[in-house]
Structure 1
Amino acid sequence: MGGDPANAEPVTEARGPALHPPALKPGDRVRVVAPAYPGDGRLVRGQQILESFGLVVEYGEHVYDQCGYLAGTDADRLADLNAAFRDPGVRCVFGARGGYGTQRVIDGLDVAAARRDPKVFIGFSDLTVLHAKLWRSARLVSLYGPLATWTDTRTGPDSVESMRKALMTTDPIVIARDPAEPSSAVNLPGKGSGVASGPLLGGNLTMIETSVGCGEFPNLDGAIFLFEDTGEAPYSYDRMLTQLRRTGALHRIAGVAIGQFNAAGDGSSGWTAAQAVTDRLTDLGVPVLGGLRIGHGNGQLTVPIGAKATIDTVAGTLTVEPAVR
């Protein structure tokens, strides 16, 4: 059931300016696809929210399929993904659910279709590798935000409005440090003013780290490196950041924006996640801003991946240019 390497596009890195898809407007079609785990009953709520924006929601053929823990075979999941990017009537490709599985099909993504007809892509977690592939191979700016399997107790009104603005307006996105977030304890000014700018790249730390050496791994030179994770102990953050450091991936970053440390434990066995991350990042000498409600925790907000961003550790803000035009 594995993907066919012969159908994979050769590893290339796109050059030139970023591609910004058109902002969505009422009446636009949104295709929900499941490149990882299958959709479930929470899609009903996700559809209701998108329809409240005036959008028309449809589903990939295999969203509810199940093959083990995956939403159908690799071939079927990839077919749904490519069909969405190839359909000129679809203006947004929306991830149904995370979990695991996107890496199994990512090499077969029709990058040429994404370049030819830029459209909004939104999702997070396991779908981090799709954001990275779209940026590296098509220079397409995408949105790191909630999945269509929507849970109101985790992603409430603030999350809904953040997603709507990111999808349908050209307003800059500003996210303020939340002192209640465990990652807010990581706040490093670096060697200068505490301000840094560059394209915002990254996503889920586990997926970034496991993409090292693969065709979707982004060049982080000059970037604001964004990461978040869930269910990882403090030593896991240490291990993953150490791996990225050893590969040289973090040697020339401009700064770091840190999302949510969800379910990372209380540090009773040693360091907290914030302490472990601080230890791994301090000597890089770049500004680091934690406490951002991006990721798997409550109140998740939506941010562009690939757009120019600025972090200010004194003001406690991440400001990102819009993904859409």
Structure 2
Amino acid sequence: MVSPSSWPDSGDDLDPLLETLTAWGLRPEVGAHVADRRGYMAGSDADRLADLNQALRDPGIRAVIASRGGCGSLRLLPGIDREALQRDPTPLIGYSDLTALHQLWRRSGVPAVHGAVDGAHADAVRAQLMDAAGATVPTDPAAVTAGLTTTGTARGVLVGGNLEMLARCTGVVDVSWRGCLLLVEANKAAGLGMVDRALTQLRLSGALAGLTGVAVGSFEEFTGYQDRGWAVTDVLHDLLDDLGVPILGGLPLGHLPDPVPVPLGVPTVLDADAGRLTVDAAVR
């Protein structure tokens, strides 16, 4: 358990996670700086990086779990021990700000899990880490992005995560998504302009070239929000439709009270006609 981004608010946040891991029959270890505080981050960059690299270099550590998201993981990218990660592939579990680290895991060819070890779907994370389980995620027709769904079936390795962090990683992590399925989701941090700028950056950088499909996770925090007559679905239509690939909206992935966890970096099938995303296992 490490805190590459922000610190857990209290032991009330951390203790249930450790209890869950113990109940799975695991021996959780907590990074030395997991609860440090420096502004909005869990201590200094050097200390957060030291906890992460120590976990990657320890052959007894079989998964790295982020205590929470927040802000700060992007700062760690240059110093992560990729040789250790590739020598002993260790999945990383987290989402939101952890999307930055997921891009480096992708660059290193190591699967990860977009999700969290809490809430209604904690057992699904356990199955993905310990039972070589994949994930089958049906769309929610009531979700704000459900109307983005087109037709067709697409296949590819699932990549992506939080939209803003994907854009922030452009030019920082050299990752090709050609032939991949892209997952995007977002929390409402700064209105529709954030969504527009992030997707536009990915388009102009060429990052979206060659995608086979787009899986649209939660944009629920934008429900009911408009900016000069446009809703978030207008922005997404405007910047995704002309990619000419199958799009599956309304997926319960990302910033929700109980997000569904999914492996990243593994073969996936997006079936827009059936309204279903089927993801292979992250571990074997």
| TM-score category (smaller protein) | over 0.9
Q: Tell me which of 253, 257, 261 is aligned to 2:211.
A: 253
Q: How far is the alpha carbon of 1:262 from its aligned partner?
A: 3.4
Q: What does residue range 38-187 of structure 1 map to in structure 2 within 5 Å?
A: 38-39=7-8, 40-41=10-11, 42-136=13-107, 138-146=108-116, 150=118, 155-156=119-120, 159-187=121-149
Unaligned residue ranges in structure 2 (runs of 5+): none
Asked if 1:313 is matched to 2:275, the reply is no
> Which string of whole-angstrom CA distances, capped at 9 and with x for unpartnered residues, describes residues 213-234 of structure 1?
11x2421111101111111433
Unaligned residue ranges in structure 1 (runs of 5+): 1-31
Aligned match of 2:179: 222
Distance 1:163 1:172 in 2: 10
What SS is found at the alignment partner of 1:83?
helix
> Structure 1 length normalisation: TM-score?
0.83
Distance 1:108 1:246 in 2: 28
> Which string of whole-angstrom CA distances, capped at 9 and with x for unpartnered residues, describes residues 139-184 of structure 1?
11111111x5x4xxxx32xx12221221122233110101122121
Aligned match of 1:35: 4
Distance 1:268 1:79 in 2: 43
Asked if 1:202 is matched to 2:172, the reply is no
> Which string of whole-angstrom CA distances, capped at 9 and with x for unpartnered residues, describes residues 216-259 of structure 1?
24211111011111114333222211221111111211100111
Q: How far is the alpha carbon of 1:271 from its aligned partner?
A: 2.0
Q: How far is the alpha carbon of 1:288 from its aligned partner?
A: 0.5
Aligned match of 1:8: none
Q: How far is the alpha carbon of 1:265 from its aligned partner?
A: 4.1
Aligned match of 1:25: none
On the 8 A contact 2:226/2:232 being kept in 1, the answer is no
Distance 1:180 1:61 in 2: 43
Greater shift after overlay, 127-136 or 45-54? 45-54
Q: Percent identity?
A: 41
Distance 1:172 1:75 in 2: 35
CA RMSD of aligned residues (A): 1.4
Q: Number of aligned residue pairs: give it.
A: 280
**Counterpart code for 2:112:** S
What SS is found at the alignment partner of 1:197?
strand
Aligned match of 1:9: none
Distance 2:244 2:45 in 1: 42
Q: What does residue range 260-299 of structure 1 map to in structure 2 within 5 Å?
A: 260-269=218-227, 270-299=229-258
Distance 2:36 2:250 in 1: 37
Distance 2:126 2:42 in 1: 27
Distance 2:225 2:45 in 1: 39
Greater share of strand: 1
**Counterpart code for 1:38:** W
On the 8 A contact 1:33/1:59 being kept in 2, the answer is yes
On the 8 A contact 1:235/1:273 being kept in 2, the answer is no
Q: What does residue range 5-44 of structure 1 map to in structure 2 within 5 Å?
A: 32-39=1-8, 40-41=10-11, 42-44=13-15
Q: How far is the alpha carbon of 1:55 from its aligned partner?
A: 1.5
Distance 2:252 2:281 in 1: 18
Greater shift after overlay, 177-186 or 301-310? 177-186
Distance 2:156 2:237 in 1: 21
On the 8 A contact 2:134/2:263 being kept in 1, the answer is no
**Counterpart code for 2:255:** H
Q: How far is the alpha carbon of 1:49 from its aligned partner?
A: 1.7
